[in-house]
């Protein structure tokens, strides 16, 4: 406690004006030029600097033809940049709140949402809301949904099921997803010119999501349907990055949402394995709390709707135009 008190005692004499003026002095390079920029006399500027050094308890500049910062001066400069930057950002956010806008949105999403239009929606949204930051959090749907109650999340994208049907929650279905079987560049089948089917990879080493996850439940049901319930994965992971690494480095077969499989295939990282029937994943949905709604959030949800996976380009432009008019009306 004593160390903390000593560390704060000098700062009690520092004012925002001190920090602003110190940055002006550093940029100007001379007391004369800094005084002119601050509309002060050189004598007043020298007195101000002496007072600041007294508060700091150490010299901050080396006086000469051109002032140079001492090590302590560099530390104060770093503090000034940090504090003044925070003040400016907070001021902008407070102004936005006063004007009825939200300065930041926190969006949680499972990987299917990230691959199914979320990046495009964020881009379109920020073209219209240049002063709103968007924080994107990926994780398990259950964990993300809890953030809607605590206001840690403004919206969550995941698979529609009973968890989204709570009285305080609203939702909108973005698109319907499937489960895909994929291989990566480490597979012996990667360079094959022949169509690759489920039977070709059935006895390979499989990487699957953990037991109890929706993707695994749907995949296990498909294996039962194909009379392959005996299949035991060699590795289990909920991390897409880990699955991608395994498929890239080793001879494995993986399982993920079709939206992600298509996205990774477009980057040349995955190749999809054909199946004789669709493996349903479920409707990908955006969920939000009815009690924590803002016009900014609804504009963002409009962008999600417009850029949902598989929506034709003409419909995207039409949806954005409609949401833009709705924003103007609100």
Q: How far apart are CA 106 and CA 108, in angstroms?
A: 7
**Averaged pLDDT for residues 59-82:** 88
User: Do residues 103 and 133 touch, judged by C-beta distance below 8 A?
Assistant: yes
Q: Regarding beta strands 252-257 and 169-183, do their DSSP bridges make them parallel or antiparallel, or are they unpaired?
A: antiparallel
Could you give the dihedral angle defined by the CA atoms of residues 138, 140, 141 and 147, in that order, rounded to the nearest 10 degrees? -70
Residue 13 DSSP class: G
User: Do residues 234 and 206 touch, judged by C-beta distance below 8 A?
Assistant: yes
Residues 288-315 as b or e (16 or more Cβ within 10 Å = b): bbeeeeeebbbbbbbbbbbbbbebeeee
> 272 - beta bridge partners?
182
**Averaged pLDDT for residues 94-106:** 71
Give the number of other CB atoms < 10 A from CB of residue 164.
Answer: 20
CA-to-CA separations, 125 to 96, 120, 141, 170, 296, in angstroms, rounded: 16, 9, 23, 20, 9
Per residue in 1-52, pLDDT (tens digit) is 444 555 566 777 778 888 888 898 888 888 889 889 889 898 888 888 888 8
In total, the chain counts a number of residues equal to 330
pLDDT of residue 313: 40
pLDDT at 319 over 60: no
Q: What is the DSSP string of 220-255?
A: HHHHHHTT-TT---SEE-S-HHHHHHHHHHSSEEEE
Average per-residue pLDDT for the chain? 84
Query: What is the H or E stretch that residue 208 is in?
Result: strand 205-208
Which position has the token pair 């954005």?
320
pTM for the structure as a whole: 0.62
**Averaged pLDDT for residues 302-313:** 75
DSSP, collapsed to helix, strand or coil, labels residue 216 as helix
Q: How far apart are CA 134 and CA 126, in angstroms?
A: 8
pLDDT of residue 316: 39
Per residue in 134-187, pLDDT (tens digit) is 999 887 788 888 888 888 899 999 888 777 778 889 999 999 999 999 999 999
Q: Give the lowest-confidence range in 18-22, 84-88, 167-171, 212-216.
A: 84-88
pLDDT of residue 8: 66
pLDDT at 265 over 70: yes
């Amino acid at each position: 406690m004593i160390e903390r008190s000593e560390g704060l005692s000098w700062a009690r004499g520092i004012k925002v004006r001190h920090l602003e003026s110190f940055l002006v002095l550093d940029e100007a390079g001379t007391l004369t030029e800094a005084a002119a920029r601050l509309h002060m006399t050189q004598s007043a500027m020298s007195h101000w600097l002496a007072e600041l050094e007294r508060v700091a308890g150490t010299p901050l500049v080396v006086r000469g033809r051109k002032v140079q910062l001492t090590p302590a001066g560099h530390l104060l400069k770093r503090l000034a940049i940090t504090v003044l930057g925070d003040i400016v950002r907070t001021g902008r956010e407070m102004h936005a709140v006063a004007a009825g806008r939200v300065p930041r949105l926190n969006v949680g999403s499972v990987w299917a949402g990230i691959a199914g239009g979320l990046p495009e929606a964020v881009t379109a949204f920020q073209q219209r809301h240049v002063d709103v930051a968007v924080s994107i959090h990926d994780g398990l749907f259950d964990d993300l949904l809890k953030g809607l109650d605590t206001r840690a999340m403004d919206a969550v994208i995941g698979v529609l099921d009973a968890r989204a049907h709570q009285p305080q929650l609203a939702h909108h279905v973005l698109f319907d997803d499937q489960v895909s079987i994929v291989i990566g560049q480490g597979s012996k089948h990667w360079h094959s010119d022949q169509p690759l089917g489920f039977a070709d990879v059935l006895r390979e080493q499989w990487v699957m999501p953990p037991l109890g996850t929706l993707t695994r439940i749907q995949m296990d049901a498909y294996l039962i349907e194909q009379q392959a319930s005996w299949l035991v994965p060699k590795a289990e992971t909920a991390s897409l990055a880990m699955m991608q690494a395994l498929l890239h480095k080793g001879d494995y077969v993986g399982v993920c949402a079709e939206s992600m499989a298509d996205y990774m295939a477009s980057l040349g990282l995955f190749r999809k394995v054909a199946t004789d029937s669709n493996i349903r994943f479920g409707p990908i949905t955006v969920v939000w709390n009815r009690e924590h709604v803002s016009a900014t959030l609804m504009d963002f949800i409009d962008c999600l709707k417009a850029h949902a996976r598989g929506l034709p380009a003409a419909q995207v432009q039409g949806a954005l135009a409609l949401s833009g008019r709705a924003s103007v009306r609100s």
